[in-house]
A and B are shown apart, each in its own frame.
Chain A
Amino acid sequence: DTAVSQTPKYLVTQMGNDKSIKCEQNLGHDTMYWYKQDSKKFLKIMFSYNNKELIINETVPNRFSPKSPDKAHLNLHINSLELGDSAVYFCASSQGGDSTDTQYFGPGTRLTVL
């Protein structure tokens, strides 16, 4: 069984569209994350979320919004897509969210905005 799964694996869309990427974890973890890896391969945290707190990286545009229907899911909604949003997006989860926790990453979703 895949611990952290994401769908779709590839997403190609036009500028201005709204899209979502889904993430599910079956590890029973309390905290989930979204990371963005750009074309230069830099990985940056976008959000971390548990049932109590959403922490947003201040550099993330408000066109990006995480939505959690339940503890096992954290979906990423992106409005009015721009060319610069093209990247690989990784979802991750961990048990608690402190500095000793191990994070488990999904396989990534490659988003291409045309």
Chain B
Amino acid sequence: DAKTTQPNSMESNEEEPVHLPCNHSTISGTDYIHWYRQLPSQGPEYVIHGLTSNVNNRMASLAIAEDRKSSTLILHRATLRDAAVYYCILRANYGGSQGNLIFGKGTKLSVKP
């Protein structure tokens, strides 16, 4: 599986935008980029995913570089509830285990009031 690299931690102020980077230089042409987050003492939850084009949903935006070797998760206005570990995950579109999520270390986001 292609690997991702994320900063260990980031800080943000409440109500400011947050840009969480992810590098995935070995991404293959059919790998989807997924983002999940894990709030303290909870299970992971889906945030967003994309393949080539930028994506928006009610939680966040995903900006994907033209060469797809990096992506950025954008939280438009961070709230205290957004403090979590954010995982950038590549999912291969082949093989019997393509449904499995391979979690890395993620980025721990702290939000200051």
Shortest CB-to-CB span from A18 to chain B, Å, is 25
Considering only residues 39-70 of chain B, those with a C-beta below 8 Å from chain A are 41-46, 49
Docked CA distance A94–B36 (Å)? 14
Docked CA distance A103–B46 (Å)? 7
What are the 7 tightest A-B residue pairs by CB atom distance, in nearest-first order? A105-B43, A97-B99, A43-B103, A99-B91, A99-B93, A45-B100, A102-B46
Q: Are A106 and B43 in touch, CB under 8 angstroms?
A: yes
Q: CB of B109 within 8 A of chain A?
A: no
Which residues from chain B contact A101 at a C-beta distance below 8 Å?
A: 99
What is the chain A residue whose CB lies nearest that of B87? Answer: A43
Write the residues of chain B forming the contact surface with A, with a CB cutoff of 8 angstroms. 30-32, 36, 38, 41-46, 49, 85, 87, 91-93, 96-103, 105
Q: Are B44 and A105 in touch, CB under 8 angstroms?
A: yes
Which residues from chain A contact B87 at a C-beta distance below 8 Å?
A: 43
Q: Are B98 and A55 in touch, CB under 8 angstroms?
A: no
Docked CA distance A94–B87 (Å)? 18
Given known contacts A41-B85, A99-B93, A100-B49, is B100 in contact with A107 (CB within 8 Å)? no
Interface string of A71-100 (1 = CB under 8 A from B): 000000000000000000010101011111
What is the chain B residue whose CB lies nearest that of A50? Answer: B99
Q: CB of A25 within 8 A of chain B?
A: no
Given known contacts A41-B85, A99-B93, A100-B32, is B98 in contact with A90 (CB within 8 Å)? no
Q: CB of A70 within 8 A of chain B?
A: no
Q: Are B43 and A48 in touch, CB under 8 angstroms?
A: no
Docked CA distance A45–B99 (Å)? 10
Given known contacts A99-B32, A99-B91, is B99 in contact with A43 (CB within 8 Å)? no
Docked CA distance A97–B95 (Å)? 11
Which residues from chain B contact A45 at a C-beta distance below 8 Å?
A: 97, 100-102
Docked CA distance A106–B92 (Å)? 24
Docked CA distance A103–B100 (Å)? 9
Q: Given contact pairs A103-B44, A103-B99, enumerate 20 new A-B contacts (beta carbons under 8 Å).
A: A4-B43, A33-B99, A33-B100, A35-B101, A41-B105, A42-B105, A43-B103, A55-B97, A92-B43, A97-B99, A99-B32, A99-B91, A99-B98, A100-B32, A102-B49, A103-B36, A103-B101, A105-B44, A105-B45, A108-B43
